[in-house]
Each structure stands twice: as structure tokens, then as C-alpha cells.
Amino acid sequence: TSFFSLKALVVCFLVFFGVGMLVFALSTLVFSTARWVCERARISQEKRLQAKMPYSKFALILTHVFKFFWFIAIVSVEYITLRDQPWLPKFLGGPGDASLWEEGPSEELRAFYEVQMAYHVHSMLFSVLVGSKKEMHLHHIVTIFLIYLSNHFGYRRIGSVVFALHDTPDIVGCAIKAAVILENTKLILGTYIPLLLTWGYFRLYLLPLLIIDILRSNEALYVRVIFPTLLGTLACLHYFWYSQFLAMAYNYSRTGKSRDISEKNLHPVDKAAAAAAAAAAAAQAAAVRAGGVTGEDAKSK
């Protein structure tokens, strides 16, 4: 089977990379402008740190907005592509005939695969740059291997079904991530239940059914070993993240604060600001201990 068109893959990747760089450029511009305005107004460092939104929040909000519209677009393409196909599995409303395992015309899903590969390579590099958790890196690596292998062995049809199962819940996922960063309670509550429903149905219920179908197929042994193993790894990650969704709800019910525990690190700009604030607090505490003054007296000095 023919692999991706290198030219198309490079073009798609450059588009995603360009959009990502634009997101960071805009967030940098907004952050720098806000800092310049604060400094021109001679606002104290303490108030400035309290007033401004951290740099990483600007970047992440814009990133999630981009991904939100991306997933709406790609899911629409997936729906149009799959809805009338005779090989669509029964659990997705199709006849579910054996042609699911056939390659079909080489151009039928080739462009779709090129775009998906470019997006996931871009997404993997972005997660490395922003310091996502290790399980997110594992998710990207496994996904890229699945895209490559399913294309290489000619299983683009079943691969497109996996894309549909994964991409649909991400629409709501991106919306709630942006809502958490914005600390918009109404938007968080409005997207939380749809998040649980879409993730639970598409990723925790339908994906395991697809894995079972692969295990029951008459394909070669390597197919019934490699693909269920990789898809099973993704399924385990989905169950783990779903438990985190529930933990976030429990934490919110106790503290009244929402926090996206899937995001690990701050941007270097935020780290520097946090380090400066911690150093100032430590210096103030040292002055209090050395001089025997109260906290209010230290602040006045």
C-alpha cells in the first residue's frame, strides 16, 4: 500500500505549526502589553502579579479555542465521510459488513489520513513544549503509531472509525478546558455533563467494542495482537482520565474551585514570576524573624 504523500503531509504540518506559532505570538503580545501598561502606570509588583492573567493561560485558552474549532471541522468531515459507507460498524449505525477490513480505493481516505497525521505530530510536539504529563506523551506516541500502521497495512477504514470515536468527545473536552482556565462556573457546569456522556459513550463503551471486533476478526495474528494492544493502551488512558474528571468534580464540590489536573507545568514566564514572588515572600519572612517586627510593619517598610 502507498504511504502518505510527503508533500501533502509537510504542507499540513506547516499549517498546524504556523497556527501554533500564531497562538503563542498573540499570547506573548497580550502578556507583554499588559505588563507594559502595568509598569507605565507604576502599579506595585504585588498588585501586578495579582491583576494579570499568567502568560500560559493566554496561550492555553487560545490553543483550546483553536482545537475546539478544529475538532468541529474534522468531526463534520468524518460524519460526511462515514455516514453512507457500507462498512460502517453496526454499533455506529452501519450495516457492519466484512468490507471494513478491505483497503478500498487508495485515495478514499488518504487525504484524511495525511491531515490527521500532521495534526497529531503537531499536537505531540506542542505537548512536549508546554510540559504536558507523561501519559499525554504516551497517548500521542501510540496514536501516531496507530495512524502509521493502519495506513501501512491498508486498514484506513477501521482507522477512520477510531478517529471518529476519539475526535467527537474532544469538542466538549476543549470547551471545558478553556472554561476551567477562564474560571467560568456556568460554562464549566454546562459542559461537564456532556463531557462525561460523550467520553463515556464514545471512548469507554464504543472503543472497547471495536477492540473486541478486532480480536474476533479473521485477520492475521499480528493484526489481532498489535492493534488491540495499542488501542487497549489508549482505552486504559481514557479510563484513567475519566476517573480524573470525576475527581475534579469531587474537588470542586469540596473547595468550590475548578482545576484542570491534566495540565502539569507553567510556562517559563509564569515560573519566573512565581519564583520572584516566592523569593520576595521569603525575604519578608527573614526580615520579620531578624528584626522582630510584625508582618504589617514589614510591609510598611
Confidence category of residue 178, pLDDT binned at 50, 70, 90 = confident
SS3 content of the chain, % helix, strand, coil (to 5): 80, 0, 20
Residues whose CB is less than 8 angstroms from the CB of residue 204 and which lie 6 or more positions away in sequence, other chains included:
235, 238, 239, 242
Q: What percent of the chain has pLDDT over 90?
A: 20
- Report the candidate in 267, 237, 246 with the shortest Cα–Cα distance to residue 196: 246
Torsion from C-alpha of 166, 118, 173, 260, nearest 10 degrees: 120
CA 143 to chain centre: 13
| CA proximity to 34, closest of 281, 275, 273, 258 | 273
From CA 70, how far away is CA 283, in angstroms rounded?
47
If residue 168 lies in a helix (H) or strand (E), which one and from where to where? helix 156-182
pTM of the model: 0.69
Distance CA 59, CA 23 (A): 6
pLDDT of residue 296: 47
Distance CA 176, CA 190 (A): 9
Point out the least confidently predicted range of 8-17, 26-35, 137-146, 229-238.
Answer: 26-35
pLDDT of 234: 93
